[in-house]
Amino acid sequence: MPEKVLMKGNEAIAEAAILAGCRHYFGYPITPQTEVAAYMSKRMPKIGGTFLQAESEIAAINMVYGVASTGKRAMTSSSSPGIALKCEGISYLAGADLPALIVNVQRGGPGLGGIQPSQSDYFLATRGPGHGDFHVLVLAPASVQEMADLTFKAFELADKYRMPAMLLADGTMGQMMEPVVLPAPAEHFIEKPWAVTGTECKRPHNIANSLFLLPEVLERMNFERFERYARVEEEEPMWESFLMEDAEICLVSFGITARVSRNAIVQARKEGLKAGMIRPKTLWPFPKKPLLEAAGKVKSFISVELSMGQMREDVELAVRCQKPVYLCNRTGGMIPTPEEVLQSIRKANEEGG
């Protein structure tokens, strides 16, 4: 059996990226994700990779663009205000159909905000972080194990669909340590005939570009890109159900709040309240199908999140407003206690559906 090791979430991201074949990391320090960069600075030189602390977040994301266009796996990591700076480059990556990983270990906002855990970049991540019509894959780990597994998965999905992926974690996930079994090193990589690697005078030039001045051409590219997105929405949503078989109240939560919700649900069950949870592991594509199915069975939903209700809108859309979707939230770096979530379950139970 593979060995379990004890790692911080941020370190698990870094090691899993290396195991996924990423040899190029570009970053700029910011709490609470700096351990990703620190880890990469130690490991990359030993394995012939690149660790580069750029002069800014914008420089780092454009370095990622450069490596991604050669078909190599590349990544950057930051936290909320730093991710906002990277958005220009993420849009360019999407416009050039380049795969890459962007890690966002979220902290409270808006503005410089605070440094404690948050999930308030939900809109930023799921609506396309940057200008123009596009999406990025958004994966939401809820344990150190998933910090590793979903980092690995993000690289695979990004390559498969030629689009950037964002790992949307939070300060708690980044800072905590848990036992983790690291994935086996990636062995199979898909062909990238589009990569800019030198033609050797044997084929036409490949160009990594997001500038298309002819509107007919740009429109066609956007239409085609969204056909690909439709496939992603059909095939790639990931979620975990917890005690949903007989649930009357369905909590929807990801990351640290899903962990807190789990405690609250266990407690609620002891009180005879039939609560369960659908925990999205991908936020884009959002797991609409299981939520819509649940809408036919449960009385109500509760969106438990560290924002002013950003995910709640997606839950309402997914269940087509068939059932009430209540909100249990904290923000600014605060995290609800299991007791607070339990209160909202009790309240939802009284209000019915």
The binding site for other proteins (CB under 8 A) comprises 4-6, 31-32, 115-116, 171-172, 175-179, 256, 259-260, 262-263, 266, 335, 337-339
Contact, 96 vs 208, CB < 8 A? yes
Least distance from other proteins to the Cβ atom of residue 44, Å:
20
Q: Any idea of the CA torsion for 255, 170, 328, 130, to the nearest 10 degrees?
A: -100
Least distance from other proteins to the Cβ atom of residue 115, Å:
5
Q: Which residue has the tokens 């209540």?
A: 326
Instruction: Pick the closer one to other proteins by CB: 165 or 335.
Output: 335
Q: How far is it, in rounded angstroms, from Cα 286 to Cα 278?
A: 11
Instruction: Pick the closer one to other proteins by CB: 288 or 330.
Output: 330
Least distance from other proteins to the Cβ atom of residue 119, Å:
15
Contact, 193 vs 50, CB < 8 A? no
Least distance from other proteins to the Cβ atom of residue 3, Å:
10
Q: How far is it, in rounded angstroms, from Cα 207 to Cα 198?
A: 10
Contact, 21 vs 49, CB < 8 A? no
Least distance from other proteins to the Cβ atom of residue 257, Å:
9
Instruction: Pick the closer one to other proteins by CB: 259 or 312.
Output: 259
Closest to 85 (Cα-Cα) out of 26, 171, 148, 157: 26
Instruction: Pick the closer one to other proteins by CB: 175 or 210.
Output: 175
Instruction: Pick the closer one to other proteins by CB: 192 or 262.
Output: 262
The two three-digit tokens of residue 343, written as one number: 């209160």
Instruction: Pick the closer one to other proteins by CB: 95 or 333.
Output: 333
3-state secondary structure of 260: helix
Least distance from other proteins to the Cβ atom of residue 241, Å:
15
Q: What single DSSP character describes residue 107? A: B
Instruction: Pick the closer one to other proteins by CB: 248 or 340.
Output: 340
Burial of 112 (0-12, 13-18, 19+ CB in 10 A): exposed
Least distance from other proteins to the Cβ atom of residue 39, Å:
15
Q: How far is it, in rounded angstroms, from Cα 32 to Cα 140?
A: 16
Contact, 101 vs 137, CB < 8 A? no
Q: How far is it, in rounded angstroms, from Cα 176 to Cα 256?
A: 11
Q: How many CB atoms lie within 10 A of CB 96?
A: 18
Instruction: Pick the closer one to other proteins by CB: 69 or 257.
Output: 257
Least distance from other proteins to the Cβ atom of residue 150, Å:
18
